[in-house]
Every structure is written in structure tokens, then in C-alpha cells.
Structure 1
Amino acid sequence: MSDAGAALFARYAFPPNELGYCGPDGVAPAELGRRARDFEGAWAYLCFIASSAGIADPLDERVVAAYWLGGTLLDRVDGDALAAVLRSRFAGQYRGSRAMAHHSFHVFEVYPWLSLLRRTGSSHAVSVLDRCRIRTGTVFSVRGSRAVVHSPALAWRDGTLAVGDFRSEQVRWERSLLPELTVGDRVTLHWDWVCDVVTQADDARLRDQLRGWL
């Protein structure tokens, strides 16, 4: 198992695990990489990406980065074959004919929240979709284990989900996951946690992919 890949996985998987939404309960950040198989959704995609790319380790850093952030490794994934795997693994949740091996695809296409939103206009559904996706922002201030980040939020307007206005949100970060955080850093967010410091290219890729799902 790649230590770098396991560490990267932990940065993104810790927030929902800490909140009890997925993964094994009560697992510390340092243990998450070793318990990755217990993250039912993520592990299926990691295995498929690794197999498609001819990489033996599903926790290879390149595989983990592709799942959370996207990138050229996903070009090797057969979307039809992945859709067949998802229809079997998530029976009743996913009925599509083509899939992408990306966390935000799972959020918008497999989880029921987007269909619920379209049926009901639920503000709670908007919040879950916004916070569960991997989103980007810029660090405005850092104080202890808290930071203020400026990030564009999702908005439900006239029956359409779209990227709305920028907001300032207070989020958490943990040194055991991310050793350093500085004002001006471009970061990824998952729920109310900072996951990683990323490049402008990562930011642009995530925003482009989001437009494809909305």
C-alpha cells in the first residue's frame, strides 16, 4: 500500500467518516488508509481506476488523486463497463448506462439527493450536494484548527441547480492530515473540512467537471 496514497485518501475520506456518513465508525485519520476497503463507494471506484490503468495498488497516489480530483487517468476508464459494475453494486440507486470514476459523479448520479431536489426543491438536498461534492476555495484567514475560506456555493434557482455566489465559510483542518495551511492557499473542501492544497489546474478541472453534472 502506498503511504502517500493512503495519506491522500485519508485527507478526503476523513470528513464524512468523522460525521458518520460513510466508512468505519471511530477510525482515526492515520488508520483510514488501511481501512479504505470499508468505504464501500470509494473503494469500488479506486479498484476500477487502478485496474483500468494497470496499477496494482488501488491506493496508489495517482489513483486516489484521480478519484477525488479527476485527471487523465480517468480517460482509461471504460464508462460503460463501470456503469455495469455500479448498477450491480448499487442496485436500486443507479440505473445509468455510462459512468465516470469520480467522487462527484457518485454524489450527483448515484446518491439520491439530486433526484430528490428536482422533485421537491428541498434546501437540505442542496446543502448535502454542495458539501458532499469536492469543492474548491481560497483561504482568507487561519486561526488554530479553524480557517475561513471563500468558495462558490451551489444554488437552486428556478428549478435549476447551478454554481451561485461566493460565500465565506468557516471550516476545520487538522495538522495530522494537512501539516500546513496559509492565507491565500487554494484548497479543496469536503463537508466542512479542508482536504488539501491544490493547483490552479486542479481547481479548473473540478469546476469544469461540475458544469457537466449540473
Structure 2
Amino acid sequence: MSEAGALLFARYAYPPNLLGYCGPPDAHSLLSSPADEIARRARGFEGAWPYLEFLAARTGLHDPLDERVVEAYWVGNELVGKPSPADLHDFLRDRFAGQVGGTWVSAGDRAVVHHSFHVFEVYPWAALLRRTGNPAAVTVLDRCRIRTGTVTSVAGETATVVCRPLIWDGSALRAGPPLSEQVTWSANGQSLLPVPSAGDRVALHWHWICDILTDDQVEELQSRESRQLSRV
């Protein structure tokens, strides 16, 4: 098991776990547990873990928490495109049997091992938005995706970040004008990140900073999301 991969998983998985949306109880232990305990808890994330298992097996890396596998799922890298869409679709059809409301059942030609696919095709919110135009669906999709932003200031355990929220124009989702929002990077002195600085480009999940990104990672994450939005 990769310690670096386990810690990377915890960074991205902690925000929805804290809100009770995914994973086992006691989310705060992700911030303080050793890597082997994070690995044990990671198996309880019924959304992310199947993708990590699948990608590790198909790329010969074998460890679902290999850092390259974890980065591929949350951010994106060269591993994402290695399994065929049809192979992943067959796998998901078994693992997510009974999951209804999304568009993944008909996604045999476009399924990819990336969080954006899970958010926009496995979860029901994008399909609900198309049917009803419910603005609550836009909010959920915007917060649940891994989005990018730029830090403008830091105060204690919070930071102000400029990012582009998703907007719905009645027929498509797209990135809206830049807005500032206040987010969290640490809780009661516990964090898996160094203190962010103004100018840092970061990954955001719900109301948390998950990672400090390179320019290449920002481009990769944004291109993966653009691809997904163009297809759904």
C-alpha cells in the first residue's frame, strides 16, 4: 500500500465524508489516522473505491491506493484512458447494479475512470436537471465535482478562493463568471495540506481545499470536466 496514495485519497474523500454523503462514520479520523487505517476506511467509500480497484487491476499496478491510481480518479492523468469504456462499463454494471437515475447505463462508449464521470453520469443530478431545471441540482453538481480555483488570501483555517461555479443556461451546464468564495483547508489544527498561499492553484471538493495543483494538473482536471459536460 502506498502511504502517499492513501493520504491523497483522504484529502479528496474527506469533504463529502464530513457531510455524511459518502464513506463510513467518523470522517475526522481521515485527518489524523495513519495510512493503514485510511486504507481500511477507503474500502467503505462505495462510490470511489470500485473505480480505484478497477483501474489498479487493469493497469497492472495492483494497489488501489497507488498514488498514480488515486490521482487518475480525482484529478486525471495518463492512466484514465488505458481501460476501454466498454470494459469499465461492464464492471460498473455489476458493481452499481440497482443504481438508478443517472445516464451511466447507456454510457458504454464514454465511461472513464474519473470522478467527473461518476458525478455527471452515475449520480442522478444531471439527469434530474435536464428533466426539471431544478436549481438545487446545479448546486449539488457544482459542489460535488472536483473544481479548480486560485487562492487570493488566507486567514486562519479558511481561505478565499476565486473559481468559476457551474451555471445552467436551460440546455447545458457550463462554467460561469469567476466568483470569490470562502473555503476551509484545516479543521481544529488538523489538515493533510501545508498552509496554502495567495496565488496557489487548488482543487476544491464541497467547501474544502483538497490539494495544491500544478498548472498541468489544473489543465488535466478542467479538460476532463469539459469532456464530460460536452457528452452529457
Q: What are the Cα deviations for residues 130-153 of structure 1, in whole angstroms up to 9, with x where unaligned? A: 010000000011001100100011
**Alpha carbons 1:66, 1:74 under 8 Å: kept:** yes
Deviation at 1:178, TM superposition (A): 0.7
- Separation in 2, partners of 1:19, 1:32: 18
Q: How does 1:14-93 map to 2 (within 5 A)?
A: 14-27=14-27, 28-29=29-30, 30=33, 31-91=37-97, 92-93=99-100
Aligned to 2:9: 9
- More helix by percentage: 1
Q: Which moved more, 1:24-33 or 1:58-67?
A: 24-33
Retained in 2: the 8 A contact 1:13–1:32? no
Identity %: 55
For the pair 1:106 / 2:112, whether they are aligned, the reply is: no
Provide the rounded CA distance (Å) in 2 between the counterparts of 1:25 and 1:127. 24
- C-alpha distance in 2 between matches for 1:12 and 1:134: 8
Match among 154, 173, 186 for residue 201 of structure 2:
186
Deviations 1:70-103, CA, capped at 9 Å, x for gaps? 1101121121111011122222433121310001
- Is residue 108 of structure 2 the alignment partner of residue 97 of structure 1? yes
5+ unaligned residues in a row in structure 2: which ranges?
none
SS at structure 1 position matched to 2:176 = strand
SS in 2 for 1:8: helix
2:210 maps to 1:195: yes
User: Would the aligned equivalents of 1:138 and 1:187 in 2 still touch at CA under 8 Å?
Assistant: yes
Is contact 1:6-1:32 (8 Å) kept? yes
Q: Distance in 1 between matches of 2:94 and 2:173?
A: 28
Asked whether the 8 Å contact 2:81–2:112 carries over to 1, the reply is no
Q: Which protein has the bigger strand share?
A: 1
Describe the SS at the equivalent of 1:73. Answer: coil
Q: Distance in 2 between matches of 1:38 and 1:198?
A: 27
Q: Which runs of 4+ in 1 moved over 4 A?
A: none
Structure-2 change in CA distance of 1:33 and 1:168 (3 Å) = farther
Structure 1 unaligned runs (5+)?
Answer: none
- Structure 1 CA distance for aligned equivalents of residues 91 and 43 of structure 2: 16
- Which range is displaced more, 67-76 or 27-36? 27-36
Alpha-carbon RMSD: 1.2
Scaled by the length of structure 2, the TM-score of the pair is: 0.89
Partners of 1:57 and 1:194 lie apart in 2 by 25
Aligned length: 214
